[in-house]
Amino acid sequence: MEKPQGAGGSSFQLIDAEKVLEKLHLKKGNILLDLACGQGEYAIEFSNIVGEEGLIYAVDLWDENIVQLRKASSAAGIKNIKAIVADVSKVMPIGNDSVDVCLMATVLHDLILEKAADEAIKEVRRVLKPNGLLAIIEFKKIDGPPGPPMKIRLNPNEVESIVRPFGFIKNELKEVGEYNYLMTFDLGKSDKP
């Protein structure tokens, strides 16, 4: 399988991490899933927020990204990141209803391109706690660079229409950088399918 356009690049340097953190409501002891984490810059940044009592699952399809994340975590003495090579559109080695926050940072457009978005969102729904939060960072639908080509960028209405069928209800929309926005979603009050 070929890497999608832009895979391996990170949006982390483009966003305001404080603005993102403010909307994730992470606290000590939380479990965060960094979905399609790349080399794990978000995971590393947020590892000190969840603390030793918490855990970050950093999942990516590409082995070289996970190797780099493991090296960086080890060098920084970070012990609460579980870096996993896995396809996020398949069953991940994470328990049902076990994750407080799932972060999808500039990956949804690639999942759509690969026709894997529905399965990935179903999997997110499986692992999220009933009161869990889905946080999606995407590139604004403006000409770039940086970011993917305009034709595969998603505006907030498109993102909402993609996740709504899986029981997610829009919570907030916030600009988190010149090129990026963050949307957060809660699970609807109905039972999980």
**Domain extents for the chain?**
12-187
Structure confidence by residue, pLDDT tens digits, 165-179:
999 999 999 999 999
Q: What pairing do the DSSP bridges indicate for beta strands 128-139 and 180-187?
A: antiparallel
At what angle are helices 156-163 and 117-127 packed, to 10 degrees?
A: 70
Q: Which tokens go with 113?
A: 């391109």
20: left (phi over 0), alpha (psi -120 to 50) or beta: alpha
Which tens digit of pLDDT belongs to each residue from 88-124?
A: 999 999 999 999 999 999 999 999 999 999 999 999 9
Q: Is 40 exposed, middle or buried (0-12, 13-18, 19+ CB in 10 A)?
A: buried
Average pLDDT over residues 14-43: 95
pLDDT given at position 188: 77
What is the signed CA dihedral for 165, 169, 174, 180, rounded to 10 degrees? -20
- Residue 49: predicted pLDDT: 97
4, pLDDT greater than 80: no
Tell me how crowded residue 68 is: count the other CB atoms within 10 A of its CB: 17
CATH class held by domain 12-187? alpha beta
Strand partners of residue 187: 168
Maximal C-alpha separation, the chain:
44
